[in-house]
A = this chain, B = another copy of it.
Amino acid sequence: MFFTSDNASGAAPEILAAVTRANEGFARSYGADDIMARVTTQLRDTFEAPEAAVYLVATGTVANSLALAIHTQPWAAVFAHTEAHIATDECGAPEFYTNGAKLIGVDGAHGKMTPAGLAAALDRIGESGVHGVQRGMVSITNVTEAGTVYTPAEIAALTAVAKTKGLPCHLDGARFANALVATNATAAEMTWKSGIDVVSFGGTKNGCMGVEAVVIFNPAKAWEFELRRKRGGHLFSKHRFLSAQIEAYLQDGLWLRLARHANAMGARLAEGLASIDHVSQRHPVQANLMFPEWATGCHAKLQAAGAAYYDMPAPAGREGARLVTSWSTSAADVDQFLAALRA
């Protein structure tokens, strides 16, 4: 009953098998491996973007930071939801990689920016000439930190606002596959067809060991990305082990199958919770993470039963939690959790 995070899961068997296969013999280092050549094609095909520059790194934090850094000057602002991972959970990595850009929080219910909210933030910043920081970029997270999902149309509405000021747009897709299967969108629809310029395409949370792709739709940024990645210490010498993960992840739709399972487990859990009368949800449940609240006393009961998850602040008389399902969550785990809560 491990619901702390999707990163508490291991790797899917197909991923591990691919890594094992990749281990045979010698291979060129630093991204010149044969597997990466195939991965490049796979990613371009997946995103219907034959010109895109695509790269692999090992963590979501650096995928985001590099995606921002190649599009944002040090004296510019990145606009993102107040609760975005880049703003709250990366210890200032975006500031580090951009050499000091400023993150501007945009509020919005359920972890989602609204076009009006974004437009207001853009109006506040960048109007004081040389005295203020300049507008730099917009970053959108999908699945959001609140577990909600933007549709492609909602993303397009946000990027349209950004484009009125000529700003590039980033999609933090640490849970990209979960967002995709939740909306039945294609990767292209969720990204460049909706105005996105660069994507952090997550693999780690959805069954890989540790790999994220960065998909850059403007290939003019490719060389700068490579230099920044190396300079950040993120260019792997035995790069084949990153390549092998993504190759297997994209093959035969594994990534979408894993995400469908995670979301299905999320739905099963949410349904069960909805049937318990003292349980409420802070946000709509649309993918594989949720923020239920229940009557005080349940934490003790659940922990005694062996459930692991993060506590969240809650109003008096209530207890809050964050629950995350993953590719490896079983229906039995979910049912056992619900039973423990009902007990």
Contacts and interface: CB of A to CB of B under 8 A. Distances in A.
Interface of A: 2, 4-5, 7-11, 16, 19-20, 22-30, 57-63, 65, 73-75, 88-93, 95-103, 128, 130-134, 204-205, 209-210, 224, 226-238, 240-241, 308, 328
Given A75-B228, A95-B95, A131-B230, 4 more contacts: A2-B26, A4-B29, A92-B102, A130-B230
11 contacts: A5-B29, A7-B29, A10-B238, A11-B238, A16-B20, A19-B209, A91-B132, A92-B231, A100-B100, A130-B230, A209-B241
Contact of A92 (B5, B22, B101): B101
A315 to B, nearest CB: 16
A226 B131 CA distance: 10
A147 to B, nearest CB: 18
A237 B96 contact: no
Nearest to A25: B10
A11 B238 CA distance: 9
A62 B61 CA distance: 15
B24 A10 contact: yes
Given A74-B96, A74-B99, A95-B102, A59 B90 contact: no
Given A235-B59, A237-B7, A227 B91 contact: yes
Contacts of A204: 237-238
Given A27-B10, A102-B103, A238 B226 contact: no
Give the oligomeric copy count: 4
A93 B235 CA distance: 11
A24 B229 CA distance: 31
A242 to B, nearest CB: 8
A23 B8 contact: no
B75 A92 contact: yes
Nearest to A237: B7
A230 B10 contact: no
B228 A89 contact: no
Given A99-B99, A230-B130, A232-B93, A23 B7 contact: no
